[in-house]
A and B are shown apart, each in its own frame.
Chain A
Amino acid sequence: GNSVTQMEGPVTLSEEAFLTINCTYTATGYPSLFWYVQYPGEGLQLLLKATKADDKGSNKGFEATYRKETTSFHLEKGSVQVSDSAVYFCALSLVAGGTSYGKLTFGQGTILTVHP
């Protein structure tokens, strides 16, 4: 089956530190990959996505590169801010057989806390 594994958290950083959250996947096919972010008390929001190998998704200073050879989609940011404190979810989407829509499979989420 399909699965997504994220690095275990929680992750605690000081402001302006470098962030990496690891994400690897297994999939029976060629998925699209996503990072979603959940701020306290809110629903998930799309942070970035990549749809084919070697694509780099980027948004708000965050980046992730689709690495097919290592089945990975690690999230990075060069300098985190207190406002980046949230839960981050890696996810993949695969088209179900004979259909035209993708069903999401999520990782377990990584809690990030950034201190001033």
Chain B
Amino acid sequence: NAGVTQTPKFQVLKTGQSMTLQCAQDMNHEYMSWYRQDPGMGLRLIHYSVGAGITDQGEVPNGYNVSRSTTEDFPLRLLSAAPSQTSVYFCASSYMGGTNQPQHFGDGTRLSIL
């Protein structure tokens, strides 16, 4: 199994550009989520989804859009990149069913906004 696959691994953008970070999982997980990781701040939840067609905001959603058309894919869109969005982005997935389900993480996308 590939687990959670994120592409690209690295990306440099200019302020105002748009792009989509891809995330795919092959474990038939219902729950998928996006986090950003910044130094000294741990991981913060951006958006999450509990199934195809269902998404909701996390702690830091501003500047990001998501959609979930299939169980497998959960792309994250930056509509107009800003330097404050320079970060490492992680996608994660898990089964539903309570608090004890561990999250499975991708290897991350390192994004720099100039």
CA distance A100 to B94 in the complex (A): 12
**Size category, B interface:** 20 to 34
Tell me whether A49 and B102 are in contact in the complex, defined as CB-CB below 8 angstroms, given that A99-B50, A101-B31, A107-B42 are known contacts: yes
The answer to whether B74 has its CB under 8 Å from any CB of chain A is no
The answer to whether B101 has its CB under 8 Å from any CB of chain A is yes
B4 and A43 contact, CB distance less than 8 A: yes
B42 and A32 contact, CB distance less than 8 A: no
A43 and B108 contact, CB distance less than 8 A: yes
Residues of chain A in range 62-116 having any CB-CB distance to chain B below 8 Å: 89, 93-95, 99-104, 106-109
Tell me whether A100 and B97 are in contact in the complex, defined as CB-CB below 8 angstroms, given that A41-B107, A42-B107, A43-B90 are known contacts: yes
The answer to whether A14 has its CB under 8 Å from any CB of chain B is no
Tell me whether A103 and B100 are in contact in the complex, defined as CB-CB below 8 angstroms, given that A43-B90, A43-B106, A108-B40 are known contacts: no
Residues of chain A in range 23-44 having any CB-CB distance to chain B below 8 Å: 31-32, 34, 36, 41-44
B42 and A106 contact, CB distance less than 8 A: yes
A32 and B107 contact, CB distance less than 8 A: no
Chain A nearest CB: distance from B110 CB in Å? Answer: 10
Chain B hits for A31, CB < 8 A:
99
Chain B hits for A107, CB < 8 A:
42
Residues of chain B in range 30-47 having any CB-CB distance to chain A below 8 Å: 30-31, 33, 35, 40-45
Binding site for A on B (CB under 8 A): 4, 30-31, 33, 35, 40-45, 48, 50, 58, 90, 92, 94, 96-103, 105-108
Contacts A/B (CB < 8 Å), 12 sampled: A41-B107, A43-B4, A43-B105, A44-B105, A49-B100, A51-B99, A89-B42, A95-B98, A100-B96, A101-B101, A104-B33, A108-B42
